[in-house]
């Protein structure tokens, strides 16, 4: 969910809640800063050399300076919220608390993602716990603090949070699908990296449950091109891609249901609905 979609969710949620998107600008900026802080550290931990088709920061500047830059973005996210005098002090404090809790959940999810690379098997429950923190948490908060900035009721804020959470889960499933079947020119990163790193993505978990041949191959020591092609073929044959797509659609429907319960208004509400539908067509 690149291209500043997370802060856009914050601004749209504020407007759809009956507020004005301009009042939520500082919170949207904080969300984007937190997101980029996490990407910098994530690329270092995964040793990813490309991000959106461009060299990652640690490749350009080295790991020590990349870590330093990520830490600086994290601090700036807090300062932006603290200085948002357009919002009441109570709103700023609550927004900071929600962002910090999201960061904690995000790092816990990243911890699990790294740990899972060395695990022979994890179930879908463990996968959902991991992606709820790593991906969905910040998107959920992006929607929630937008409604918070608009002065929405606690119930409405909870519905916006549920919308963002389900949208985040759907996004991660789509990312998992693109990580195997996407086009490098569209995704901006090697589409075989997840398989080579033994990432426990949703199609992989489904494949390990359904195909003993895929499970044995995935647990082998090889990372050759032949291994990648064979693994992709086995996943396709056992229906892992189709099943992952069905789960993605289910999460989008949950997101739309929560959004309806939040009673969004105006063009911003329509835009949030369109965003959820467009997720199913995402190619990068």
Residue ranges for the chain with pLDDT beneath 50: none
> For 155-193, b where at least 16 C-beta lie within 10 A, e where not — what string?
ebbbbbbbbbbbbbbbbbbbbbbbbbebeeeebebebbb
Cα–Cα separations (whole angstroms), residue 261 to 160, 258, 269 = 9, 5, 12
Closest by CA position to 95, among listed 79, 106, 107, 71: 79
Q: Domains of the chain (ranges plus CATH)?
A: 5-279 (1.10.600.10)
Q: Which residues contact 126 (CB under 8 A, 6 or more apart)?
A: 112, 116
Coil, helix or strand for 50?
strand
pLDDT for res 193? 79
pLDDT for res 1? 53
Q: What is the pTM of this model?
A: 0.92
Instruction: Tell me the HSE value of 196 on the side-chain side, using a 13 A CA sphere.
Output: 11
């Amino acid at each position: 969910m690149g291209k500043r979609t997370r802060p856009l969710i914050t601004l749209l949620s504020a407007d759809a809640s009956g507020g004005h998107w301009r009042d939520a600008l500082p919170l949207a900026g904080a969300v984007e800063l937190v997101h980029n802080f996490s990407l910098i550290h994530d690329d270092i931990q995964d040793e990813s050399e490309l991000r959106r088709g461009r060299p990652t920061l640690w490749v350009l500047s080295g790991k020590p300076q990349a870590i330093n830059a990520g830490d600086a973005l994290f601090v700036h996210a807090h300062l932006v919220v603290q200085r948002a005098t357009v919002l009441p002090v109570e709103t700023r404090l609550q927004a900071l608390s929600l962002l910090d809790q999201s960061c904690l959940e995000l790092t816990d999810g990243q911890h699990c993602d790294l740990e899972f690379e060395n695990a022979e098997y994890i179930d879908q429950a463990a996968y959902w716990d991991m992606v709820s923190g790593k991906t969905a948490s910040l998107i959920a908060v992006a929607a929630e603090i937008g409604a918070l900035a608009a002065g929405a009721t606690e119930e409405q804020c909870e519905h916006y949070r549920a919308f963002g959470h389900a949208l985040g889960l759907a996004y991660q499933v789509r990312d998992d699908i693109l990580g195997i079947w996407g086009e490098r020119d569209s995704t901006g990163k090697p589409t075989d990296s997840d398989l080579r790193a033994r990432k426990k993505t949703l199609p992989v978990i489904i494949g390990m449950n359904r195909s003993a041949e895929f499970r044995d191959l995935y647990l082998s020591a090889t990372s050759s091109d032949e291994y990648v092609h064979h693994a992709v073929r086995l996943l396709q044959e056992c229906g892992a891609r189709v099943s992952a797509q069905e789960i993605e659609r289910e999460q989008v429907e949950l997101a739309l249901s929560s959004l309806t319960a939040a009673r969004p208004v105006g063009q911003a509400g329509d835009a949030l609905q369109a965003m959820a539908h467009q997720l199913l067509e995402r190619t990068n």
